Amino acid sequence: MAMRMSTLFVRTLRDDPADAELPGHKLLVRAGYIRRVAPGIYTWLPLGMRVLAKVENIIREEMDAIGAQEVKFPALLPREPYEATNRWTEYGDNLFKLQDRKDNDMLLGPTHEEMFCLAVKDMYSSYKDLPLSLYQIQNKYRDEARPRAGILRGREFIMKDSYSFDIDAAGLQKAYDRHRDAYIKIFNRLGFEYVIVHADSGAMGGSASEEFLAVSPHGEDTFVRDDSGYAANVEAVEVPQAPKQQVTVGDSHIEPTPDTPTIATLVDALNANHPRTDNRAWTAADTLKNVLVMLRQPDGTREPLAIGVPGDRDVDAKRLEAKVSPAEVEPFEEKDFATYPHLVKGYIGPGALGEDKGIRYLLDPSIAEGSAWVTGADQPGHHVIDLVYGRDFTADGTIQAAEIKEGDPSPSGSGTLKLARGIEMGHIFQLGTKYAEALGLKVLDENGKLTTVTMGSYGVGVTRAVGVIAEDNLDDAGLIWPRTVAPADVHIVATGKDDAVYLKAEEIVRELEALQLEVLYDDRPKVSPGVKFKDAELIGVPTIVVVGKGLADGVVEIKDRRSGERREVPVSSVVAEVL
């Protein structure tokens, strides 16, 4: 049934919505596809539903084609399965948590590995039941810190998520490859320019993982590629000089001896030679806060000696050999950061050293916990770290990847890296046995032995895909949908007040529909042609047919929304012309 503008639930807007930054987002709202309810939460209107259904169906067809079976899990879920895999905690603030009337903890599912795993555990018990792939197209909930660009990063959004179950790694590899091929078909059909990149498995766990990134200047992901076909999300690039690898901890070339001064010795030295002005003594905790120790050379110059945590043996081998006396050490001061560029401010978050949150420091919090010290002095065989607060460390103590630059040598060994931005459209994971182990999903193998099932999980952002298509297909006047996902194939605009025009337009609508074309018909009797044309451009159906004054001469106008090309055709051949 044709959608008629006279009754369609739509109000096009002349002005941009105040909260929208990206052009596609603005147009989706202005043209009446979506409407905002709250940050990152959107209502889908009839035009939007049409586009969404087409995207979903492309995905559905390709999933069905690889033998995956469609199911639908609830979005409202109990806490326990997520507790068993530790994701109740691990997912952090992104998880929407709530309680039912009996005070049971519940969540709104951000992704469903646990639930699929348990369903298979409930129903299957033998290797003969496998392989199995299941999928759903369903609402997901993530309390994103920065919802963005309307539906590109929502807090409620639609994802196609599928899960594969196999008896062994070879089976998983096959399921993964089948999904990868299906994703290639899906993203080709959706018309994206995309790259498949090596990805970080992140909170999902597991080993191999790849992302499908739509190449876009609006992307929040940065990826690198070289000319040999290597491509990776920068999050997943293994650069040898990444801070994590770079930090040298408890390096074995320094063997503490009975003479090695401990932090306690150094604290004593500070108290003896550099008493504080505020009437209290230096303590080991102060040494942390002050990034401990400088060495005063005989000529009066100062040099960084070492950094330590309380109670640990500290100090570098060279200085030990030189038999440094505690009297020669001084507290490190703020100004020393300027003098010694290789000593840079780091940060220790909670958890690494308890409540000492926010202190300036030099070392990686992930290693501070388990190890004694990090040298701050440059010396043979010791790569001194260049960690900068804000660049390499964030306020919660997380370490960022080292900066990768355009032109860096490619880890593939072939050529140099180019950088570009992309939007994550899909992500495929070989999870292995992480979830099956945590939730006890085992089946009997060929020899009657219980074996843990191995899993994969595969996601596509469905609503995000609509957003990306919109950003990629627009001009100043409005959206320009590719035919495969357009809300209709043809937009018929009848103009003027002449009944004959409307009768003819109705006839054309019926003929097109008989040929299975979807039609949006602007039948509004009291709206000016100018407004109708503007709306047609804004809504962005690929072919626009204007039935108006020309009808008296037996012609109608066909306009191609993308090229802007217009031609007059005899009314008798209009159906053949738009096919």
Q: Structure tokens of 219?
A: 């992307």
C-alpha 52/C-alpha 490 separation (Å) is: 18
Give least dist CB 226 to ligand ATP, A. Answer: 23
Report helix, strand or coil for 242. Answer: coil
Candidates 59-67, 373-381, 385-393, 460-468: pick the segment binding ligand ATP (CB under 6 A): 460-468
Report yes or no: 206 and 86 within 8 Å, Cβ to Cβ: no
Q: Structure tokens of 238?
A: 């293994």
Query: Exactly one of 171, 308, 426, 540 binds ligand ATP (CB under 6 A); which one?
Result: 426
Report yes or no: 157 and 465 within 8 Å, Cβ to Cβ: no
18 backbone φψ class: left, alpha, beta (φ>0; ψ -120 to 50): alpha
Report yes or no: 471 and 173 within 8 Å, Cβ to Cβ: no
* Sheet containing 555-560, strands listed edge to edge, beginning at the edge strand earlier in sequence: 3-4, 519-522, 490-494, 543-547, 555-560, 566-570
Our finding on whether 142 is near ligand ATP (CB under 6 A) is yes
Query: Exactly one of 166, 328, 424, 557 binds ligand ATP (CB under 6 A); which one?
Result: 424
Report yes or no: 197 and 210 within 8 Å, Cβ to Cβ: yes
Our finding on whether 434 is near ligand ATP (CB under 6 A) is no
> For Mg ion, which is the closer residue by CB, 32 or 422?
422
Phi, psi for residue 555 in degrees, rounded to 5 = -125, 155
Our finding on whether 200 is near ligand ATP (CB under 6 A) is no
Query: What separation, in Å, do the N-terminal and C-terminal C-alpha atoms of the chain show?
Result: 18
> For Mg ion, which is the closer residue by CB, 93 or 238?
93
Give least dist CB 421 to Mg ion, A. Answer: 13
Query: Exactly one of 2, 3, 91, 111 binds ligand ATP (CB under 6 A); which one?
Result: 111
Give least dist CB 93 to ligand ATP, A. Answer: 13
Residue nearest to Mg ion according to CB distances in the complex: 427
Our finding on whether 144 is near ligand ATP (CB under 6 A) is yes
Query: Exactly one of 32, 154, 346, 548 binds ligand ATP (CB under 6 A); which one?
Result: 154
Our finding on whether 532 is near ligand ATP (CB under 6 A) is no
Judged by CB under 5 A, the chain residues 407 through 426 that form the site for Mg ion are: 424
Q: Name residues whose C-beta falls within 8 Å of residue 338's C-beta, 6 or more positions apart in sequence.
A: none
Candidates 63-71, 153-161, 340-348, 533-541: pick the segment binding ligand ATP (CB under 6 A): 153-161
Query: Exactly one of 427, 504, 524, 561 binds Mg ion (CB under 5 A); which one?
Result: 427
Our finding on whether 178 is near Mg ion (CB under 5 A) is no
Our finding on whether 235 is near ligand ATP (CB under 6 A) is no
How many residues of this chain interact with ligand ATP, rule: CB under 6 A?
A: 15
Look at the alpha carbons of 30, 31, 37, 38 in this order and tell me if their dihedral is positive or negative: negative
C-alpha 183/C-alpha 212 separation (Å) is: 8
Residues lying near ligand ATP in the complex (CB under 6 A) are found at 111, 142, 144, 153-154, 157, 159, 424-427, 459, 461, 463-464
